[in-house]
């Protein structure tokens, strides 16, 4: 059930990420509008001041204000675009993680059903029985491949498993 809770949590975070992307896209659109307005204001001020004396302080002030507004709007637009890209990357990562967890919950090969039934002699899943040093998980997973979900059996009258395979996983088999 822990995986189900994580999947639900990731679904919630995915929804939040999508809402954040929508909010950022709207903010970016508004910033682009403000930038266009500032650009138009700047161009109007530039045209008005083109034929006038350079000493006209009012037009110079308007042009400087428009230039500052344009610069600020463009900077805000760039920040919002960066935030949108970051949110999209997070959403993609969460979607991939959610999909992977859902696949883990699917038990396509029946291993989950077998582990839940825990018949006599079942030690547990191979993944639950093997301890891997940090940094070697990817290599071990590649080596096991599809067999990582396998379930080793122990005959009813066999010696105990070697150390390291003591059935310390979450679904260890009952002792014979």
C-alpha to C-alpha distance for 83 and 25, rounded to whole angstroms: 9
**Could you state, in order of their start, the residue ranges of all structural domains in the chain?**
2-106, 110-176
C-alpha to C-alpha distance for 103 and 123, rounded to whole angstroms: 23
Please determine, for residue 155, whether its predicted confidence score (pLDDT) is greater than 90: no
Question: How would you write 111-162 as a 3-class SS string?
Answer: HHHHHHHCCCCECCCHHHHCCCCCCCHHHHHHHHHHHHHCCCECCCCCCCCC
pLDDT digits (tens, 9 = 90+) for 89-109: 999 999 988 888 877 666 556
Backbone angles phi, psi at 102, to 5 degrees: -65, -40
pLDDT digits (tens, 9 = 90+) for 7-66: 888 888 999 999 999 999 999 999 999 999 999 999 888 887 766 655 567 777 888 999
What pLDDT is attached to residue 88? 94
What pLDDT is attached to residue 148? 61
C-alpha to C-alpha distance for 149 and 144, rounded to whole angstroms: 9
C-alpha to C-alpha distance for 113 and 72, rounded to whole angstroms: 60
Q: pTM of this prediction?
A: 0.36
């Amino acid at each position: 059930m822990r995986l189900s809770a994580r999947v639900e949590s990731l679904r919630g975070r995915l929804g939040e990420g999508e809402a954040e992307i929508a909010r950022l896209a709207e903010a970016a659109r508004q910033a682009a509008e403000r930038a266009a307005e500032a650009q138009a204001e700047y161009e109007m001020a530039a045209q008005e001041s083109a034929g006038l004396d350079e000493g006209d302080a009012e037009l110079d002030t308007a042009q400087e204000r428009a230039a500052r507004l344009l610069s600020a709007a463009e900077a805000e637009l760039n920040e919002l675009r960066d935030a949108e890209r970051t949110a999209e990357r997070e959403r993609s990562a969460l979607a991939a993680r959610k999909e992977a967890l859902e696949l883990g919950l699917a038990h396509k090969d029946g291993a989950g059903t077998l582990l839940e039934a825990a018949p006599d002699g079942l030690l547990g899943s191979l993944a639950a029985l093997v301890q891997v040093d940090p940094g070697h998980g990817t290599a071990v997973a590649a080596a096991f491949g599809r067999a990582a979900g396998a379930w080793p059996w122990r005959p009813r009258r066999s010696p105990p498993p070697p150390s390291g395979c003591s059935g310390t996983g979450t679904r260890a088999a009952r002792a014979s």
